[in-house]
Structure 1
Amino acid sequence: MSFPYLSHDVAGEGPAVLLLHSSVCDRRMWDPQWRVLIDAGFHLIRPDFRGHGDSPAVPGPHSDAEDVRDLLDELNVDRVAVVGSSFGGRVALEFAARWPERVGSLALLCAGSPGHRPSAVLTAFSDKEDQLIAADDIAGAVELNVSTWLGPDADGNTRAMVRLMQRRAFDVQLAAEESGAQPPAAEPVRLSRIGAVPVLAISGAHDFPDFREIAASLPHELPNARHLELPWAGHLPSLERPAEVAGLLAGFLRDQR
């Protein structure tokens, strides 16, 4: 295996569903949907990517998609539905494009996309975050992320939860001098290889244009993709209105059984 251990949880019985978290968060972001999806009859798997939550950061190039593949191999899971938020959605798309036979469906929440070139506004956010980290203002970088990525419906408890997860990621990655950057894939990721896999691409009206455009473009690239924009949502809708998103996900996943 390329990586010895991704911390993860497994629970429930039924078709396998893999939950991939945002880079701002860790696997705890799925707490609000966890029991709902178990009760809906699914076998859930949620890992922490390297440098997040309880998974260590190991300096040097790596592929999160390969880490996910290796975890599924370790768990003897051949085929899954994949739910990915933000960076987790980007990993989900890469995983589905590289190993399409292992993916039954994709639910993407404000997902990134392999090869996407960031807009000026997204680049400005990244530059500001880098400046705060370089100045050793980690608390400021945390607050920048909390204020940037959560939409207007996020309450104080949700903001505290994201604050906790983002601070944990910074602490783990900085302790290991892990930049978080990944090398380019060995070959370009071709989304067309995903084929007719059912895809639900969700975007938020209060999110960066990058992620709204990615979600809107997927039905033009994939024959069985559907785009849904949530007028109330920012970048992390599963945390902003957890019950509503739990219902959306459960309904989509049931339809693909």
Structure 2
Amino acid sequence: MIISHDVAGSGPAVVLLHSSVCDRRMWDAQWQPLVDAGHRVVRCDFRGFGDTPLADAPYSDAGDVLALLDHLGIGTAALVGASYGGRIALTAAALRPEAVTRLALLGAGMPGHQPSDTLRAFGGREDALIEAGRIDEAVELNVESWLGPEADERTRAHVRRMQRHAFDVQMTATVGSDREDVDLGRITAPTLAVSGAHDFPDFREIAAALPALLPDARHQELPWAGHLPSLERPAETTALLLAFLHEDGRAAR
């Protein structure tokens, strides 16, 4: 199965990978500016999110992304990943390093990361609410936990809709994605690891650690951001992404 996706524009490919509290709609604000900047832009929904149905057998989200690139005839692409999408971007880049030209990671997770007590406590609260059937409260917990102080009510409503849809779809899940054991040392792409000062410590620490793990990576912390800067300050984050993708004077190839 090819996961649901949108494609527009022409030029060097950029693939947008969403957070696990969102779906591909989280990139609405970045979509047209990236097209206008001379890119072929792809955004997709992981299984159980947006328009992509659940799988009936174990699967790999990174494998799905690489299969989508093959389906679209894209040999190389820059990957932009938010949160869980950042983890998938890292995994895909480790599995097929020759296919990834650049990595822009926004509050990214990381394969093999062991969650802190703070993040475990969040997960415990979320699980308890879901098990009790208090889905609306679980949605609100996610909205309040993952958006920083810059997010306005329109943005919160947008995340609320995406998270609620994901919960509704995933309530019937009987299988999940495989967790690949990957070697991040295989990654060769220039990498920008962005963290938000208002995010969980886990994601700040991951972003700060990546320059020591990858051959060509740098860390940038945004003092105003929570976990989802592309939604909290869309224009500023878009400018940051474009600067990274074009920092050598042309669209990254």
TM-score (norm 1): 0.95
Q: What's 2:120 paired with?
A: 123
- The reply to whether residue 213 of structure 1 matches residue 210 of structure 2 is no
Deviations 1:79-110 (A, max 9, x none): 10000000000000000001000000000000
The equivalent position to 2:19 in structure 1, one of 19, 22, 32, is 22
How far 1:13 sits from its partner (Å)? 1.2
How far 1:57 sits from its partner (Å)? 1.1
The equivalent position to 2:177 in structure 1, one of 169, 177, 182, is 182
Matches within 5 A, 1:228-247: 228-247=220-239
Q: Which contiguous aligned blocks of 4+ residues in structure 1 show a shift greater than 4 angstroms? A: none
Cα distance between partner residues in 2 of 1:61 and 1:120: 28
Does structure 1 conserve the Cα–Cα contact (< 8 Å) formed by 2:91 and 2:111? Answer: yes
Matches within 5 A, 1:1-257: 4-174=1-171, 176-178=172-174, 181-185=176-180, 188-195=181-188, 197-255=189-247, 257=252
- 2:187 alignment partner AA: I
- 1:72 alignment partner AA: L
User: What SS is found at the alignment partner of 1:255?
Assistant: coil
CA RMSD of aligned residues (A): 1.1
Cα distance between partner residues in 2 of 1:173 and 1:73: 27
Does structure 1 conserve the Cα–Cα contact (< 8 Å) formed by 2:2 and 2:67? Answer: no
User: What SS is found at the alignment partner of 2:225?
Assistant: coil
- Same amino acid, percent of matched pairs: 62
How far 1:178 sits from its partner (Å)? 4.3
Distance 1:59 1:145, change over 3 A: farther
Cα distance between partner residues in 1 of 2:186 and 2:129: 39
How far 1:222 sits from its partner (Å)? 1.1
How far 1:223 sits from its partner (Å)? 1.9
Deviations 1:199-218 (A, max 9, x none): 00000000000000000001
Deviations 1:193-250 (A, max 9, x none): 003x100000000000000000000111112101000000000000000000000001
Deviations 1:33-63 (A, max 9, x none): 1111111111100000000000001244211
Cα distance between partner residues in 2 of 1:136 and 1:12: 43
Cα distance between partner residues in 2 of 1:73 and 1:253: 22
TM-score (norm 2): 0.96
Deviations 1:16-43 (A, max 9, x none): 0000000000000000111111111111
Cα distance between partner residues in 2 of 1:43 and 1:19: 11
Does structure 1 conserve the Cα–Cα contact (< 8 Å) formed by 2:16 and 2:81? Answer: yes
- Structure 2 alignment gaps of length 5 or more: none
